[in-house]
Amino acid sequence: MFEKRYRLNLVFNANKVYDRQVIEGIGEYLQAAQCDWDVYFEDDFRSRLDALKHWKGDGIIADFDNPEVEEILKNTNIPTVAVGGSYHHKKDYPRLPYVATDNAALVRCAYQHLKRKGLPQFAFYSLPSTVYSRWASEREHAFVEQVRSDGFESHVHQGFCTSAEIWETAQHELETWLTNLPKPIGIIAVTDSRARHLLQVCDHLNILVPEQVAIVGIDNESMARYLNRTALSSVEQGSKQMGYEAAKMLHRMLLGYSVEDSLVVVDPTGIAERQSSDYRALHDPYVIQAMHFIRHNACRGVKVAQVVDYIGISRTNLETRFIDEIGCSMHEQLHMTKFYRACELITSTNLPFDEIARTCGYPSVQYMYTVSRKNLGMTPGEYRVSSRLGKDT
């Protein structure tokens, strides 16, 4: 006997990375369960919120981080699964089957990463508290609780909501906050977008990242990962898993099973570690400056002599200091910085290998192949395939 063809409404904003990943997870469940459903989905439902009141389909999966959506659907008679952020007070959850991202776990993942790096102080760049940013307030609360429980002072800046009209004012306030923070410090940004604000301001103020300020975002948004010169470390939410669980829950409801007041909280996938949080506890100011110069210029083909010229002390003096602090020569650090950058581009992009070789400062693609075989025991092509096979398993 064939299952009924249900009509499903997805109430999400396709302009948001998080929402797109949830939708992708819903699609994966529909494929896995072989559900032949009719799916209605607007790219941005916000312009037609009233239409939700007149939806006559069989089921709804909706973003309840939007308070207007929650208000419209909280008493609906149509089987509905809500998706949104977790809350530290149980009373704040909607009285509907609910799938949540674990806001406290997202912050914990970033915080533990920064602690492992040996950072002595921590801060959080949040969002202004509004009914539309409850998830951000939950992450801010989780940060304050976790940091204080470890005996650290919590530094929090909410700033302004992002808009073109107040961009300069917001950046000026952020500059003031960053300038007055103790250093070195690890900063968790409530989203990748806010983390990019931090990277821009640090660049303008010549604050060294990650030597003075190490930064971690939340979302692991691939689209804008390289908009800043410094690659951003970021916690990846289990958004696809959330979509999968929400579709699975709705399917059970449609088949007549009881899922009343069901709550599923989904852990983060993990943290993608990149340059913005690659902090090392260095003490020699010359070495700190040299490391910063190498991080930003190794792929431009600079040599040790240019590092020495930038620092302004003798080569012998700087080399001795560098080996004492880092444990390798400046030449070796230049080589490994280029190599790590090449590895990142090989695994996270589909760029041709000759373009990656040029981007990373190698004299030829053949030379990059030689370096890859020496350090990885495989060609760049083999490394790209093996890294993606590992992600799929």
Query: What pLDDT is recorded for position 13?
Result: 87
Say whether 103-236+272-277 and 6-101+238-269 share the same fold: yes
Query: What pLDDT is recorded for position 231?
Result: 87
Dist. CA 250–CA 281, nearest whole Å: 49
Domain 285-384 has CATH 3.10.20.30: no
Is the CB of residue 208 less than 8 Å from the CB of residue 166?
no
Q: Name the one residue in this structure whose structure tokens are 């604050």.
A: 207
DSSP string covering 298-335, please? GGGT--HHHHHHHHTS-HHHHHHHHHHHHSS-HHHHHH
Query: What pLDDT is recorded for position 312?
Result: 94
CB neighbour list of residue 284: distance below 8 Å, 6 or more residues apart: 321, 324, 325
Indicate the pTM of the whole model.
Answer: 0.83
Q: Is the peptide bond before 184 cis (omega within 30 degrees of 0)?
A: yes
Query: What pLDDT is recorded for position 311?
Result: 94
Query: What pLDDT is recorded for position 309?
Result: 95
Neighbours of 210 (CB within 10 A): 26
DSSP string covering 189-253, please? ESSHHHHHHHHHHHHHHT--TTTTEEEEEES--STTTTSSSSPPEEEEP-HHHHHHHHHHHHHHH
pLDDT tens readout for residues 48-74: 777 777 788 899 999 999 999 999 998
Is the CB of residue 206 less than 8 Å from the CB of residue 268?
no
Q: What are the domain boundaries of the chain? A: 6-101+238-269, 103-236+272-277, 285-384
- Cβ-in-10-Å burial (0-12, 13-18, 19+) of 262 comes to middle
Q: What is the DSSP letter of 260?
A: T
Q: Which residues of the chain have pLDDT under 70?
A: 1-2, 44-47, 223-227, 260-261, 390-393
Instruction: Output the CATH code of domain 103-236+272-277.
Output: 3.40.50.2300
- Helix and strand numbers (H, E) in the chain are 14, 12
Query: What pLDDT is recorded for position 225?
Result: 64
Is the CB of residue 136 less than 8 Å from the CB of residue 127?
yes
Instruction: Output the CATH code of domain 6-101+238-269.
Output: 3.40.50.2300
